[in-house]
Amino acid sequence: MRIITWNINSLRIRLPHLQRICGQLNPDVVCLQETKVPNDSFPEREIQQIGFPHLHFTGMKSYNGVAILSKIPLSASHTKNWCGKNDCRHISAELPSGTELHNFYVPAGGDTPDPNTNEKFKHKLDFLGEMKEWFATIEPAQRILVGDLNIAPLETDVWSHKQLLNVVSHTQVEVETLDDVMQSHNWIDAVRKFVPKDECLFSWWSYRNRAWPGSNRGRRLDHIWVTQDLAANLKATQIFMEARGWQKPSDHVPVVIDIEE
């Protein structure tokens, strides 16, 4: 089974890219973040024409929004509110095997990495804390977690470790908090299972750096994790960089995993 996660940054304007990506990669399941579309405007017909009859989504006006598109029927999906906000950052469904698939859009965290002065950064850390707590308390199961986690944990997940140490997405407190979430549930970083830790790996390049891909100032903000018991089922991974070079791209590119299901 091939699963893709992609922060699409507006589903409605990026439908042609979605179609092109699915034509080239032929995924079974696509998990999207930042769909930026309310449920009553979700382009169901267009996506079904791309080849996904089974749609699960939760969206709101202007911001956030997550969706799971599938070629195969999934269980009924669930959404959950985080940090007391109804802001459409999580949706989950079960694959036919019973494996749970969780799609997350973690808050970006604003500009200043200080929870005392920056409410958005506090929200980000609180959100991660709630993830850790929740996964520690629910029933054990085979799980896949994907999404835009808005954190680049390894030194090789950013273009310059030193220059980004005080930049939101790569600060020590974020990396430690994310590690804490991972360890609390025995999550495995599925992509890094295939790519050595000393090799740079990015999934996002800022719109504000027009020199891409020459300067390659990227970060790996998009992740695929699996529970320990699924690690042996992982077959391959891919980061679909070429999509960043297309006309009117998202600032994120799809991250792909092939897993025996």
Partner DNA sequence: ATGGTGGAAGGTCCA
In the complex, what is the shortest distance from the CB of residue 189 to DNA, in angstroms, rounded to a whole number?
Answer: 21
Q: Is residue 17 close enough to count as binding DNA by CB under 7 A?
A: no
In the complex, what is the shortest distance from the CB of residue 99 to DNA, in angstroms, rounded to a whole number?
Answer: 28
Subset of residues 150 to 169 that bind DNA, contact rule: CB under 7 A: 150
Q: Is residue 81 close enough to count as binding DNA by CB under 7 A?
A: no
Subset of residues 102 to 141 that bind DNA, contact rule: CB under 7 A: 107-108, 110, 120
In the complex, what is the shortest distance from the CB of residue 10 to DNA, in angstroms, rounded to a whole number?
Answer: 3
Subset of residues 221 to 260 that bind DNA, contact rule: CB under 7 A: 248
Q: In this chain, which stretch among 43-51, 76-84, 204-212, 230-238 interacts with DNA, using CB under 7 A?
A: 204-212
Cβ closest to DNA, residue 38 vs residue 51: 38
Q: Given candidates 24, 26, 48, 62, which one binds DNA under the rule CB under 7 A?
A: 62
Q: In this chain, which stretch among 34-42, 45-53, 76-84, 194-202 interacts with DNA, using CB under 7 A?
A: 34-42
Cβ closest to DNA, residue 36 vs residue 90: 36
- Give the per-residue SS3 of the chain: CEEEEEECCCCCCCHHHHHHHHHHHCCCEEEEECCCCCHHHCCHHHHHHHCCCEEEEECCCCCCCEEEEECCCCCCCEECCECCECCCCEEEEECCCCCEEEEEECCCCCCCCCCCCCHHHHHHHHHHHHHHHHHHHCCCCCEEEEEECCCCCCHHHECCHHHHCCCCCCCHHHHHHHHHHHHHCCEEECCCCCCCCCCCCCCEECCCCCCCCCCCCEECCEEEEEEHHHHHHEEEEEECHHHHHCCCCCCECCEEEEECC
Judged by CB under 7 A, how many residues of this single chain contact DNA?
A: 19
Q: Is residue 12 close enough to count as binding DNA by CB under 7 A?
A: yes
- The structure tokens listed for 157 are 């997940």
Q: Is residue 61 close enough to count as binding DNA by CB under 7 A?
A: yes
Q: Is residue 38 close enough to count as binding DNA by CB under 7 A?
A: yes
Q: In this chain, which stretch among 18-26, 30-38, 173-181, 235-243 interacts with DNA, using CB under 7 A?
A: 30-38
Return the biggest CA–CA distance within the chain.
47
In the complex, what is the shortest distance from the CB of residue 244 to DNA, in angstroms, rounded to a whole number?
Answer: 11
Report CA-CA distances (Å) from 161 to 10, 35, 199, 255: 30, 30, 13, 22
Q: Which residues bind DNA (CB under 7 A)?
A: 9-10, 12-13, 36-38, 61-63, 107-108, 110, 120, 150, 207-208, 210, 248
